[in-house]
């Protein structure tokens, strides 16, 4: 019986001990020493206690992080979903909006691109807001500036498709080649790329991503959930269905 009590005490107290800041005075020195001894004995008999405790802490941290992200999505909903200057894919009048943060130089964004196209082909009720997030260096910024400048000529979609399927660095020469193939006036595009208004739009996207806790691309906002990485089509369809059901 005593052994069972000690085992149970260890299971209950280990998360508390791990969560305590250094130097915490919650217990007296004698109590702390007794707890440590109980834990030492219990862990020697069953090391899985430590794994379970750490797993529980990790799950709690994930729940807290998700709750914080959901709160941030709610706070920034207007900027996320209703900025009329953002490029749109899919149905502009769709009944569910997905926000996609992407970097035109990002390999995982390129991997997600055809998956998103397949999702939009299957679900005509989706509206996708595109948020440039150039975080992978100067060529990323150059590509974002070109894409936002292309909007002014009504040719964002073909240039976006070209850059997301580009298999070389999006240098200025490569962007010019793809822009001219997409029917853009390169001289006008190049001038517009240097417009401070475009730099401000990129800065606003970077600030928004930071507020949401986004630390990489691609990242999707689906309903009230932030979804990192290049997820597959079944996962996207499930998340879309859950977001619709939650409204």
The pLDDT score that the predictor gives to residue 247 is 82
**Distance set, CA 108 to CA 19, 170, 175, 228 (Å):** 35, 15, 20, 10
Which of 145, 123, 176 shows the shortest CA–CA distance to 168?
Answer: 176
Q: How far apart are the first and last CA of the chain?
A: 51
**Distance set, CA 29 to CA 17, 82, 211, 216, 238 (Å):** 13, 57, 42, 44, 52
The CA R_g of the chain, rounded to the nearest whole Å, is: 25
CA distance 45 to 113: 51
Q: Given a cut of 60, is residue 9 above it in pLDDT?
A: no
Q: What is the pLDDT of residues 48-75, one digit of tens each?
A: 766 666 666 566 666 677 677 889 999 9
Q: Which residues, other chains included, contact 87 with Cβ-Cβ below 8 Å and sequence gap of 6+?
A: 129, 130, 147, 148, 151, 156, 157, 160
- 3-state DSSP percent of the chain in helix, strand and coil, to 5: 65, 10, 25
Angle separating helix axes 48-75 and 29-45, nearest 10 degrees: 110
Question: Who wins on pLDDT, 185 or 48?
Answer: 185
DSSP string for 3-39: HHHHHHHHHHHHHHHHHSPTT--SS-HHHHHHHHHHH
Q: What is the pLDDT of residues 61-110, one digit of tens each?
A: 666 776 778 899 999 999 999 999 999 999 999 999 999 999 999 999 99
Please give the domain boundaries of the chain with CATH numbers for all domains. Answer: 2-72 (no CATH), 77-245 (3.40.30.10)
Collapsed DSSP state (helix, strand, coil) of residue 243: helix
Question: What is the dihedral sign for C-alpha 136, 141, 146, 147?
Answer: positive
């Amino acid at each position: 019986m005593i052994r069972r009590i000690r085992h149970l005490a260890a299971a209950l107290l280990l998360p508390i001990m791990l969560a305590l800041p250094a130097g915490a005075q919650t217990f007296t020195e004698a109590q702390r020493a007794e707890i440590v001894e109980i834990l030492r004995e219990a862990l020697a008999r069953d090391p899985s206690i430590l794994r379970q405790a750490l797993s529980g802490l990790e799950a709690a941290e994930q729940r807290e992080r998700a709750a914080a992200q959901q709160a941030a999505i709610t706070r920034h909903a207007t900027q996320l979903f209703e900025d009329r200057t953002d490029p749109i894919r899919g149905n502009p009048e769709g009944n569910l909006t997905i926000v996609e943060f992407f970097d035109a130089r990002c390999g995982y964004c390129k991997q997600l691109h055809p998956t998103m196209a397949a999702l939009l082909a299957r679900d005509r009720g989706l509206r996708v807001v595109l948020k440039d997030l150039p975080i992978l260096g100067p060529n990323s910024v150059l590509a974002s500036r070109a894409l936002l400048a292309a909007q002014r000529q009504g040719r964002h979609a073909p240039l976006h498709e070209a850059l997301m399927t580009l298999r070389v660095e999006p240098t200025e020469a490569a962007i010019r080649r793809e822009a001219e193939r997409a029917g853009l006036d390169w001289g006008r595009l190049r001038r517009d790329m240097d417009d401070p208004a475009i730099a401000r739009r990129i800065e606003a996207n970077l600030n928004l991503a930071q507020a949401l806790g986004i630390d990489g691309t691609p990242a999707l906002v689906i309903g009230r959930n932030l979804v990192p990485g290049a997820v597959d089509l079944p996962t996207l369809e499930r998340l879309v269905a859950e977001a619709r059901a939650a409204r």
